[in-house]
Amino acid sequence: MSCGVRWFRSDQHFVGTERQEERERDGSQVVNDVGLFDLELGYQLTDRIALAAALPYVIAERSQPIRDLGGEVVARNRTSAAGVGDVSLGARAWLLDPAGWRAGNLQVGAALKLPTGEHDALGSFRTYGGDTEVRTLDPSIQPGDGGVGLALSLSGFRALGPVSLYASGTYLLSPRNTSGVPTSRSRPSEAFLSVPDQYIARAGGFVRVPRLELLSLGLGARVEGTPVEDLIGGSEGFRRPGYSLAVEPAVQLAGAGWAVSASLPIAVRRNRKASVPDRMDRTHGDAAFASYAVIVGLSYRIGGGAGRAARPAGGEDECEGEGGGDGGRVVGAAAPVRLADAELTTLDGRPVRLQREITGRRFTVVNLWASWCAPCRQEMPELVAMAPEIAARGGALVGVSVDQDAAAARAFAAEHGMRLSLYLGGPDLPAAVGEHAVPTTLVLDRQGDVLVRLRGAVTRERLRAALDAALGPPRAATRPAPVATR
């Protein structure tokens, strides 16, 4: 489930790329205050394919000048609209298998936009003479556009250590020419409202904040607008084609299964293009643009069905693997192998088995982790701090990454100062050894059999208590002495 809120005020007029500042000086600018509330429900059919339904709700107000016979602004007229917008139903699919491509993937989508929003709302307009006229509201505040559309989208991400790059684009095809709703405009070419195509594209990156693992800061670019001519169907009637290009600083707080984000697109270029009627009548209309927008979003993953996102999130202290339902076991899969016998590689690509680490040691602590897993980041300083104590008890600490590629694992290890034996197991390792989530910490004996199994993020106290229970209390000298304070 995802819900988003977007608010902006458009009050700066442009003809082409030229700002009409005189409109602001004489108080004749049009001011639109628009709030969009968007609720999306998605259902993961498989690891690759998801269904989605989006329900928007619009609250908008428009203030425009009332002029006397000499053209002077003497008052302002306010109209408003509120209601459910145009609902969309669609599907999205990852092009690459998420189980094998956790550090990067591409997703395609298609959604049918239905004309559920009111597109012919009326409002009362006062004139200079004191009369009131009932006319169609401006399309900038109408909840819907009256046309069936097809939204095609493409998005992708790439994780490079603490940095995640993203890019996405959506184009809404609207084949209907005009909605048949009269505009009350003076030019015959603009007698009816147009049903235009729309588009948006974004690209940028996020970087995780050191020591605040759930927090990421982002910066990107965004362009959105309405084309002069639609790709399919006619482009007649009244529309305000153009685009706004913005830089988009953002912040995101993400945990296991949830995320909160906020962004502030700040316009750097706005262009009101000449419409088809403008070209016919040899003129060029204007449009009011916003200088910035405020966008806030919240997403929450409900339950744990068979489908997984490309970078899955599980419970509060663990990230789910790709095993699926039935208590975390792969339905119909072979019996799990021993972790000591699993086929691993070193971070430089050489094949190895854990048995070589286990031989000759009293015990071995093996931690399964991933660079994309927030709980893994939380627990890693605790494990690294425990390494000397584990060695003093005759054991060793080993880290096994379930990342797809070694570069992400190396970057994570360098970031957290992991001076211990590190191996790459790949995304299928947890299921192969009978686990379904990371982080998981296993304590193995000399023969490679499991003595202790700790699922979820561990602390020093939790791991120490588990070692005491399995191996007996250590000699007094093996534990760090308390620091005297006064």
CATH number at residue 428: 3.40.30.10
* 235 and 384 fall within a common domain: no
Per-residue confidence (pLDDT) for residue 335, from 0 to 100: 47
Answer yes or no: is 264 within a domain.
Answer: yes
Among residues 285, 300, 315, the one where a domain terminates is 300
Answer yes or no: is 455 within a domain.
Answer: yes
Per-residue confidence (pLDDT) for residue 336, from 0 to 100: 61
* 355 and 291 fall within a common domain: no
The CB density around residue 384, as the number of other CB atoms within 10 Å, is 16
* 256 and 402 fall within a common domain: no
Distance separating the N- and C-terminal Cα atoms of the chain: 52
Per-residue confidence (pLDDT) for residue 378, from 0 to 100: 87
Q: 352-409 pLDDT, tens per residue?
A: 888 877 877 889 999 999 988 888 888 899 998 999 999 999 899 999 999 888 888 8
10 Å CB burial of residue 345 (0-12, 13-18, 19+) is middle
Q: Give yes or no for residue 324 having a pLDDT over 60.
A: no
* 280 and 336 fall within a common domain: no
* 86 and 167 fall within a common domain: yes
Bridge partners, residue 107, by sequence: 94, 155
Q: 123-158 pLDDT, tens per residue?
A: 999 888 888 899 999 999 999 999 999 999 999 998
Please give the tally of structural domains in the chain.
Answer: 2
Per-residue confidence (pLDDT) for residue 327, from 0 to 100: 32
Beta strands in 227-325 (DSSP E): 242-255, 258-263, 266-272, 287-300, 319-320
Per-residue confidence (pLDDT) for residue 99, from 0 to 100: 62
Token pair in block for residue 465: 């208590």
Q: Give yes or no for residue 255 having a pLDDT over 60.
A: yes
* 172 and 257 fall within a common domain: yes
Q: Give yes or no for residue 171 having a pLDDT over 90.
A: yes
Lowest mean pLDDT among 96-105, 285-294, 392-401: 96-105
Among residues 237, 266, 300, the one where a domain terminates is 300
Among residues 247, 267, 300, the one where a domain terminates is 300
- Dihedral of the alpha carbons of 369, 372, 376, 382, in degrees to the nearest 10: 110
pLDDT band of 430, cuts 50, 70, 90 = confident
Percent of the chain with pLDDT over 70: 89
Answer yes or no: is 313 within a domain.
Answer: no
Answer yes or no: is 446 within a domain.
Answer: yes
338 Cα distance to chain centroid: 37
* 176 and 234 fall within a common domain: yes
Domain range for residue 182? 2-300
* 359 and 430 fall within a common domain: yes
CATH number of the domain that residue 128 is part of: 2.40.128.130
- Highest-pLDDT range among 316-320, 409-413, 436-440: 409-413
* 291 and 432 fall within a common domain: no
Per-residue confidence (pLDDT) for residue 213, from 0 to 100: 65
Q: Give yes or no for residue 273 having a pLDDT over 90.
A: yes
Token pair in block for residue 136: 């169609």
Phi, psi of 375 (to 5 degrees): -60, -30
Per-residue confidence (pLDDT) for residue 129, from 0 to 100: 80
Answer yes or no: is 320 within a domain.
Answer: no
Answer yes or no: is 315 within a domain.
Answer: no
Provide the mean pLDDT of the chain: 87
Q: Compute the average pLDDT of residues 89-107.
A: 85
* 333 and 296 fall within a common domain: no
* 137 and 275 fall within a common domain: yes
Question: Helix 374-392 and helix 460-471: axis angle, to 10°?
Answer: 50
Answer yes or no: is 316 within a domain.
Answer: no
* 352 and 287 fall within a common domain: no
Answer yes or no: is 308 within a domain.
Answer: no
